Amino acid sequence: MPKLIECVPNFSEGRDLNVIRQITAAIESVEGISLLDVDPGASTNRTVVTFVGTPEAAVEAAFCGIKKAAELIDMRKQTGAHPRMGATDVCPFIPVSDVSWEEAIACAKSLGKRVGEELGIPVYLYEKAANDPTRSNLSVIRAGEYEGFFEKIKGVAWKPNFGPAVFNERAGGTVIGARDFLVAYNVNLNTKATRRATSVAFDVREAGRIKTEDGTPTGKKVLDENGEPVRVPGMLKHVKAIGWYVEEYGIAQVSINLTNIEETPLHVAFDACVESAAKRGMRVTGSEIVGMLPKKCLLDAGRYFLRKQKWSEGGSEEELIDLAIRSLGLSELKRFDPKEKVIEFKIATEAKKPLVRLNLRQFCNETLSDSPAPGGGSAAALMGALGASLGGMVANLSAGKRGWEEKLDTFSGWAVKAQELKDQLLFFVDEDTEAFNKVMAAFALPKDSAEEKAARSAAIQAANKHAAEIPLRVMETALQSYPLLAAMAEQGNPASISDVGVGLIATRGCIEGAGLNVLVNLSDLKDEAVKTQLGHRVHEISDESEAAFEKISEVVETKIG
């Protein structure tokens, strides 16, 4: 996979669709850029744009977008609910694939230098790109917003990192940086009062609220020994939040930035708002994602809500995402489409039609056709996926069995493991066919000159090695299904013992079939050391498989009687 970096510029225009289209067209004009999402908000008067590309292409595209925004957006006339200081308010880079933090920081600094020098816009670096740790926080930099920055920028402490130390009256200033993935998330309340939404925001955000003597927002502030206001911390770490009223929806929201989704996941922020709102006599009615989010956020939320229901967490990826969308009320205001809002789904190319997206009849027809791929390797991986799925089915049935509630966590854990194995093996269904196609492509290379013959021979050897390694990984993955099947044979719902047996046979067939594919691809390799190493591993896994198969089969046959 090529180096990929995500860029999420926020433009201070959310109402004029013609302006927004011109900005995104400027971004898309750069070759190698994939525009993933454009999310305008009328009340906030702000559009969050998400795109990915190579580091070089992302910097160029971001510059084109910032330049076009400076031409089209006049900050002297701009108003909106969202805090802002410039036509392009903030522009972060986020590593996606094979991009280091050093490279992401270099992108931010390269872009900042160009924006400052070529466009005459003051630029501040933030988060991981910040030279000064006191400037790493976006809200600290943006304090005073557009209106207050004309004076703020005159202070020595607020000299820009790039560009003139004079505020750009039309374009304002821009904050550019490199950061972890941030999820912009709004929680909907059954009130129109900004003040009440702000109270919930203060309850949940890390910064909390300023302590007062009588506990009211307007009371006298409590000061520490240095004369600074004492703060009462909020419920959650890594959370920034404010309250606002959204005219287009007719409701107040808690607008949240989740800056560390590992430590404070989406569902935790949602439930914290539910708890705070309830204490204040309000209800959370739903929520919305601004921009995009990683798939993991929804998978974790789905498992969390299953745990709350005291149910097995071993649902499929599709089931977990659907449950998360419903539980978080992500479609309350407008339909939430995971294909459009989940970054992994959006990045995935639609050019190919993976085999795993075919229905059963289509897959069999494709296998039966006169095309050599998909062949035995893909079929073996599919058999392994079915073996793991049957083991997971028994785990889920056992987790839901009445009277077995104390075993829920155990069976749920096995079901989650089964889902992981199933997904890995389904991935190899397409990978095996791709590996075969690479072998065919290598054989099709020209061989007219000595140089071409040498290049062709090297390509064939590399492709054959790769084509042997893929089914070997299938074998190693399927081998992990045996502990699952053993546990289900010994502890699972006895009414499903035959399902365990079929899963066992499918797993063994997968490993033996994948082994044949490893060996057939090794036959054309000239590197004897590699042939010996991979061949030895095939026989090692086959022996382990046979021993596990025999042991679990005895349990299955005994229980079937």
DSSP code string of 321-372:
HHHHHHHHTTTSSS---HHHHBHHHHHS-SSS--GGGS-HHHHHHHHHSSSS
Contact 171, 121 (CB under 8 A): yes
Contact 270, 328 (CB under 8 A): yes
Contact 556, 501 (CB under 8 A): yes
Report the pLDDT value the prediction gives residue 351, as an integer from 0 to 100. 41
Spatial separation of the C-alpha atoms in residues 304 and 267, rounded to whole Å: 8
SS3 296: helix
Nearest to 49 by CA among 1, 83, 12, 80: 12
For residues 218 and 330, membership in a common domain is answered with yes
Spatial separation of the C-alpha atoms in residues 524 and 135, rounded to whole Å: 59
Point out the domain boundary residue: 347, 382, 403. 347
Domain that holds residue 227: 183-347
Report the pLDDT value the prediction gives residue 226, as an integer from 0 to 100. 85
Nearest to 42 by CA among 18, 70, 16: 16
Nearest to 375 by CA among 412, 336, 325, 430: 430
Spatial separation of the C-alpha atoms in residues 44 and 82, rounded to whole Å: 5
For residues 197 and 266, membership in a common domain is answered with yes
Contact 390, 499 (CB under 8 A): yes
For residues 165 and 17, membership in a common domain is answered with yes
Angle separating helix axes 528-560 and 450-479, nearest 10 degrees: 20
Nearest to 126 by CA among 139, 117, 145: 139
| CA dihedral over 474, 475, 477, 483, signed as positive or negative | positive
SS3 49: strand
Point out the domain boundary residue: 178, 213, 237. 178
For residues 337 and 375, membership in a common domain is answered with no
CA angle 343, 346, 349 (to 5 degrees): 130
For residues 328 and 403, membership in a common domain is answered with no
For residues 305 and 371, membership in a common domain is answered with no
Provide the token pair at 458. Answer: 């090297």
Contact 48, 24 (CB under 8 A): no
Distances from the Cα of 499 to the Cαs of 282, 360, 390, 397, 423, in angstroms? 49, 20, 6, 11, 19
Say whether 89 is catalytic: no
Each residue's pLDDT expressed in tens, for the chain with a length of 561 residues: 568 899 999 999 999 999 999 999 999 999 989 898 899 999 899 999 999 999 999 999 999 999 999 999 999 999 998 999 999 999 999 998 789 999 999 999 999 999 999 999 999 999 999 998 888 999 999 999 999 999 999 999 999 999 999 999 999 999 999 998 889 999 999 999 999 999 999 999 999 999 888 877 778 888 888 888 888 999 999 999 999 999 999 999 999 999 889 899 999 999 999 999 999 999 999 999 988 888 999 999 999 999 999 999 999 999 999 999 999 999 999 999 999 898 888 876 544 557 888 889 999 999 999 888 789 999 999 999 999 999 999 999 999 898 998 999 999 999 999 999 999 999 999 999 989 989 999 999 999 999 999 999 999 999 999 999 999 999 999 999 999 999 999 999 999 999 999 999 999 999 999 999 999 999 888 889 999 999 999 999 999 999 999 999 999 999 997
For residues 170 and 187, membership in a common domain is answered with no
Domain CATH number, residue 493: 1.20.120.680
CA torsion, points 466, 470, 476, 481, in degrees to nearest 10?
170
For residues 86 and 204, membership in a common domain is answered with no
Strands of 183-189's sheet, edge to edge? 239-246, 251-258, 183-189, 284-290
For residues 270 and 410, membership in a common domain is answered with no
pTM of the model: 0.72
Which residue in the list 82, 203, 267, 300 is annotated as catalytic? 82
Point out the domain boundary residue: 148, 178, 208. 178
Contact 499, 404 (CB under 8 A): no
For residues 156 and 58, membership in a common domain is answered with yes
Which residue in the list 39, 271, 430, 432 is annotated as catalytic? 432
Contact 518, 476 (CB under 8 A): no
Say whether 180 is catalytic: no
Provide the token pair at 375. Answer: 């062949």
Half-sphere exposure (Cβ direction) of 485: Cα atoms closer than 13 Å: 34
For residues 371 and 492, membership in a common domain is answered with yes
Domain CATH number, residue 114: 3.30.990.10
SS3 188: strand
For residues 203 and 312, membership in a common domain is answered with yes
Q: In total, how many domains does the chain have?
A: 3
